[in-house]
Chain A
């Protein structure tokens, strides 16, 4: 489908951001988008994506949408403390709740100033990434100072409540200072009538010896909604990141993530979870780059698929020649409940150092009849037994979140 619709919109927006620092970057990103167009299956990173679902819709950027936002749907904000609400991609101070401490961490800079991508990043070649840079209206900055422990999670609640074919391109840019500890939750929730494209970018930089837990949820309630998220982290020496991604619902639900070990002694745990049904499609693209040695990363992605849904996992761990003594593992496990469900999995390693420990693998399994029988022999109905087994399958990921309140919240979502 022609891209002229996007060109028209971009030309209209141009005058409004010509004075912002990222002006040139926006122009270049949009030119790249126009040159390349939507990704195709010929691109390895998009091989398993059913892209015609995206191409068939002409999206309007949020500011061109003439619909008025409806009354906010029941979004289930479960975190009253430090809840930053973004309505249709724009920060809404009135709906947000913030401790005085958290307010001091927020820095607004309008019109997309952002930290540059790491040199190895492939995201600058991504059409969706470039689309975000071009059309982003507001970037939200969090700057956690050195030596701070934030007791309550900082929550970014993105709610989308328009009915039309809108596209949203929010950005969050987070810096966590030396020796600081903080938990973040980023949740994207749509209403049931959305036909939109949610295309956010999150960047997270961890300075020396900082510790971060990050839970990212894309819960798309509408059957026609698409989500193409991006997450990039950069870890300095001795920092630790526990990242959990949960993708639920939607017509197309994808997360492209890149994790960089830039210093020695850093620790990374990446966990992904999806639960798809109907004709939903979930894609996970996960890249881990060990640029320095003596660090560790463990990836586990689990997906439960029912009906005619499909999922793909495309994982890569890269170990640079100088990155000795790295310990890295990667595993993708899938549980299929229906013969018509479709799984594609591609765990990969690119190892260029000789003194490292690295493992990767993938499994696709069906429901175990013995497990079902065991539960039924205790008086539990077959349908309930299957639910228990599904829950057992995904609970391994939820347990990795650590925080009991967040675990409880996630369990409620995937019931």
Chain B
């Protein structure tokens, strides 16, 4: 589904990713761990199409209609419409547009791109109600401006609601567990698990093992200084939790 080959990325002349290789197949869950500043968030933003990062070499391809297409040639909105979703570490507040209008605009943009009919209010509300239940969100949040006045946990839950509505084929979850108390973590994880099928994939960026207790990865990768220095199964995360990053990064 996703292939990252020898990816080098810089910001303002400083190289952050120094040759990343990663392959994600349909149905797989990958966890990317690593110390602060290792390039984890950069990797997810580059895949999602953030314009501040310069890809100096390498390639990122994504399966579109059984064909590997170059993601780097697409704008961020096109990537989203092809099924790439990034749950932000720090979701942005957008005053002036309600959560409901935002979700509907977003959903219908994707529908239009994919040649599916747009949904009118009545149908969309039906679909949205199901998704709201999935993330156990208070429906009153739908009438409030996007993320405005939301707590950290509510913002993260809102990210998963957006993911549920857009139903992506590849979800990049950038530290979705940060700022969540244990109850919220359970709800968010349960949402992710319910949305995960054999046809879609998840890449989770996280510092800690605790999210992986609820969303169990097939693969764990350790990123250090812009490179994947170790890959393994879920047991690697447990070992990192116990022993820290030093033994893999030195």
Contacts and interface: CB of A to CB of B under 8 A. Distances in A.
B57 interface: no
Nearest to B111: A379
Contacts of B48: 377
Interface residues of A, number: 23
Nearest to A368: B92
A382 B52 CA distance: 15
Contacts of B218: none
A389 B162 CA distance: 19
A373 B76 contact: yes
A374 B91 contact: yes
B80 A378 contact: yes
A6 B94 CA distance: 51
Identify whether the interface residues of A are mostly helix, strand, loop, or mixed.
Answer: helix
A228 to B, nearest CB: 30
A374 B86 CA distance: 9
Contacts of A44: none
A395 B96 contact: yes
B94 A392 contact: yes
A388 interface: yes
B75 interface: yes
A102 interface: no
A392 B109 contact: no
B95 A395 contact: yes
Interface in B73-110: 75-77, 79-81, 85-86, 88, 91-92, 94-97, 102, 105-106, 109-110
Contacts of A370: 92
B49 interface: yes
Nearest to A388: B97
A331 to B, nearest CB: 15
Nearest to B83: A379
A376 interface: yes
A394 B95 CA distance: 9
B106 A378 contact: yes
Residue among B49, B52, B80, B113 facing the most chain A CB atoms (10 A cut-off): B80
A388 B13 CA distance: 32
A328 B92 CA distance: 31
Interface string A376-402: 111111101100110111111000000
A396 B148 CA distance: 12
Interface string B129-163: 00000000000000001000000000000000010
6 contacts: A371-B92, A378-B77, A380-B77, A380-B109, A382-B77, A385-B77
